[in-house]
Structure 1
Amino acid sequence: MKIAVIGAGALGGTFATLLARAGHEVTVTARGPALAVIRAEGISLTGAFGGTRQYPLALERLVETPQLTLVCTKAQDAAAAIGDNARVLDGSPVIVVQNGLDGVRTASALLPCSDCFGALSIMAANYTAPGQVAITTAAPTYIGRGTGVADTVTRAWRDVLSSAVPTVALDNFVGAQWTKLVVNMLNALPAITGLSVQEVVDHTGLRRVMTESMRETVRVGMKRGVRFGSLQGLGDGPLRTFSRLPTGLGQVLPLRLRSRMGDVPNLGSTQQSLKRGQLTEIDYLNGAVVREATLAGVRVPVNELLTALVHEVEARGVPLSTYDVLERFAALRH
């Protein structure tokens, strides 16, 4: 099958390589140094899905309509990337592999004649250099759309992706996006402190802040009438129970997520962006919680401060000390 992958970062590189290994005819879009490297050397994938090097066709933008397209850019880059390729994409199916809540809506608005789906990736993929990706934690990809039961077309695209990477067709995809948003609260503090996700969760003070950001996210979702979807053993019932637990007991959630990562340092996607000198997608993660909270008429001070601190590190170019971070959060309680 002719499959296009828009974006050649950690996830885009992973999907392009695994789909090519499975025998699909893959085209990947890239820019700058990555485009030249992929054209000359292909994409090298190492880690949990096995080592392979594949040579997808690399272009700055698509020139012909594929049978399927995966959009794997950062959330803040999705509209521009889809718009750049809309001429050849509109009318063909698109799967948006992205964090946050807005990806499928963005694609549907820009591609009104296309069937648009979302995909949630739980794997931990590190973009180590242009054309090089390391998978530190393997996990299935979850595909779906809307709030209902996964339909026949969704299951058909699941089967296509499953030829390359374990894929699950998901009921209540919108609810699962909210569940993934809770999981994505793992990202901000590593980006702010320069520590790995494991180091943050292992630190008592930072783990408490992370737990509070997760609790705020769940409570905002509840205020917005969300029924959380099933993902990584989490779902509506467990998350509602988590939202009512004292913070001390609630820390079992980040500890549980950390236990699945193993010991290979997981930087998180937000910190990876900072290390590459790029803007992060924090406005679509913790920032999305802030926006949804405004619509719900509630405050989320922990997520507000986390969003601000990531932007501060973007501007400074260096992380903040753990002491400084905890001092800033201590001030919220006074």
Structure 2
Amino acid sequence: MKVAVIGAGAVGGLLAALLDRAGHEVVVTARGEHLAAIRADGIVLDGGYGSHVARVAPAETLPAGPFDLVLLATKAQDADTALRANLAGVGTAPLLVVQNGLGGIRVAREVLLDTPLLGGLALFATSFLSPGRITVTAALPLVLGAADGTPRAVLDRVAAVLREALPIEVVESLEGAQWTKLLVNHVNALPAITGLSVQQTVADAALRRVLAASLRETVGIANRLGIRFTGLQGIPGWILPWLGRGPLAIAASLPRLLARRMGDVPNPGSTLQSLRRGQLTEIDFLNGAVVRIAGEHGLPAPINAGIVALVHEVERTGEFFIPAQVAERIRV
């Protein structure tokens, strides 16, 4: 199968490498030093999914298709620009949007009116800390779901192809899975604010309290909107609504569980990785999406708004906060 990956960063680079190892013909887009490194040495993969050097075809934009499948794995804030720059390559192939946060499918539908759309949620954890190199710190599945209007046969066909490369879970409700993944991604913001790993932020009592408060606030908003969470990563969907109704200790159980599953290798989280590369983060599509959706429905979201403000401050200044400063700025 001929597969294109738009955005060969931590997630896209991993998927490209695994698909190459499974025997597919893979074309990727990248920029700058990362593009140069892939051209020279391929995508060098190591960690939880094993080692592999993927000799993929790299370019700044996709060549004209046809492709059998296209993956969009850019940061959420770059999705619209990336899709429009690669329209000739995308063509009519099914598009799998693999991004954190909410809104990726909506953006893709605005650009690609008739393309079959799928959503992918990366439960695996990867680090992309140097050009051309991808390290897997948690070898977990990729979750797939179909966007409204996409035939189930397309979802099943894409799932079958991707299962040749890595573990795949298929969900019936993409929206419910996206909200559950949004909760999982709440662990990314505090590392970006403090410069600490996910495991370190969860281990710190003050930071864990802020994180738990942000989770409880998000679940409370989802409950008000009637969102039905989908179970992911061994977390039953039915239990998540209770995180928005009980004490912080209950909400804190989720990040403790996630940190344990990440193991001992320090995981910086995707938001901190963006900062380390000198890039803007996707915080507006993570905690910021909670603030936006809450505002659209006249609901307050002060904890998530405070977290978003601190991440943007780090983006502007390049200076991290110590845990006590975070606790002072975000009162729980």
TM-score range, shorter chain: over 0.9
Relative distance call for 1:196 and 1:10 in structure 2 (3 A) is same
Structure 1 match to 2:269? 268
**Matched letter for residue 143 of structure 1:** L
Q: Following TM superposition, by how much is the alpha carbon of 1:225 offset from its aligned partner in structure 2, in angstroms?
A: 2.0
In the TM superposition, 1:35-114 aligns within 5 A as 35-65=35-65, 66-114=67-115
The answer to whether structure 1 residue 209 and structure 2 residue 206 are counterparts is: no
Superposed CA offset, 1:181-225 (max 9, x none): 011110100100001000000011110110111111111112222
**Equivalents in 1 of 2:307, 2:277: separation in Å?**
20
- The 8 Å contact of residues 150 and 170 in structure 1, kept in 2 or not, is answered as no
**Equivalents in 1 of 2:204, 2:150: separation in Å?**
40
**Matched letter for residue 88 of structure 1:** G
The answer to whether structure 1 residue 8 and structure 2 residue 37 are counterparts is: no
Structure 1 match to 2:239? 238
Structure 2 match to 1:24? 24
Q: Following TM superposition, by how much is the alpha carbon of 1:106 offset from its aligned partner in structure 2, in angstroms?
A: 1.1
**Matched letter for residue 161 of structure 1:** L
Structure 2 match to 1:151? 152
Relative distance call for 1:255 and 1:149 in structure 2 (3 A) is farther
**Equivalents in 2 of 1:270, 1:225: separation in Å?**
28
Q: Following TM superposition, by how much is the alpha carbon of 1:148 offset from its aligned partner in structure 2, in angstroms?
A: 10
**Equivalents in 2 of 1:138, 1:150: separation in Å?**
29
Question: Could you say what secondary structure the match of 1:144 adopts?
Answer: strand
**Matched letter for residue 31 of structure 1:** R
Question: Could you say what secondary structure the match of 1:134 adopts?
Answer: strand
Q: Which runs of 5+ in 2 are unaligned?
A: none
The answer to whether structure 1 residue 325 and structure 2 residue 326 are counterparts is: yes
Question: Could you say what secondary structure the match of 1:299 adopts?
Answer: coil
Q: Following TM superposition, by how much is the alpha carbon of 1:234 offset from its aligned partner in structure 2, in angstroms?
A: 2.6
- The 8 Å contact of residues 62 and 88 in structure 2, kept in 1 or not, is answered as no
Larger displacement relative to structure 2 (58-67 or 245-254): 245-254
**Matched letter for residue 279 of structure 1:** L
**Matched letter for residue 17 of structure 1:** A
Larger displacement relative to structure 2 (318-327 or 182-191): 318-327
- The 8 Å contact of residues 218 and 290 in structure 2, kept in 1 or not, is answered as yes
**Equivalents in 1 of 2:89, 2:234: separation in Å?**
38
Question: Could you say what secondary structure the match of 1:62 adopts?
Answer: coil
In the TM superposition, 1:116-155 aligns within 5 A as 116-146=117-147, 151-155=152-156
RMSD (CA atoms)? 1.5
Give aligned-pair identity as a percent. 48
**Matched letter for residue 263 of structure 2:** G
**Equivalents in 1 of 2:161, 2:256: separation in Å?**
34
- The 8 Å contact of residues 5 and 26 in structure 1, kept in 2 or not, is answered as yes
**Matched letter for residue 306 of structure 1:** I
Larger displacement relative to structure 2 (20-29 or 234-243): 234-243
**Matched letter for residue 216 of structure 1:** E
TM-score normalised by L of structure 2: 0.97
Superposed CA offset, 1:264-286 (max 9, x none): 00000000000001000000000
- The 8 Å contact of residues 28 and 57 in structure 2, kept in 1 or not, is answered as yes
**Equivalents in 1 of 2:191, 2:151: separation in Å?**
34
Superposed CA offset, 1:245-282 (max 9, x none): 11123311111111111110000000000000100000
TM-score normalised by L of structure 1: 0.96
Larger displacement relative to structure 2 (81-90 or 287-296): 81-90
**Equivalents in 1 of 2:147, 2:225: separation in Å?**
16
- The 8 Å contact of residues 188 and 306 in structure 1, kept in 2 or not, is answered as yes
In the TM superposition, 1:278-297 aligns within 5 A as 278-297=279-298
Question: Could you say what secondary structure the match of 1:156 adopts?
Answer: helix
Superposed CA offset, 1:3-37 (max 9, x none): 00001110111011110010000000011111111
**Equivalents in 2 of 1:136, 1:319: separation in Å?**
24
Larger displacement relative to structure 2 (27-36 or 232-241): 232-241
- The 8 Å contact of residues 220 and 245 in structure 2, kept in 1 or not, is answered as no
- The 8 Å contact of residues 105 and 147 in structure 2, kept in 1 or not, is answered as no
- The 8 Å contact of residues 89 and 111 in structure 1, kept in 2 or not, is answered as no
- The 8 Å contact of residues 150 and 171 in structure 1, kept in 2 or not, is answered as no
Larger displacement relative to structure 2 (104-113 or 49-58): 104-113
**Equivalents in 2 of 1:101, 1:229: separation in Å?**
15
Aligned residue pairs total 331
Q: Which runs of 5+ in 1 are unaligned?
A: none
**Matched letter for residue 151 of structure 1:** R
**Equivalents in 2 of 1:91, 1:219: separation in Å?**
39
Q: Following TM superposition, by how much is the alpha carbon of 1:81 offset from its aligned partner in structure 2, in angstroms?
A: 0.4
**Equivalents in 2 of 1:273, 1:231: separation in Å?**
25
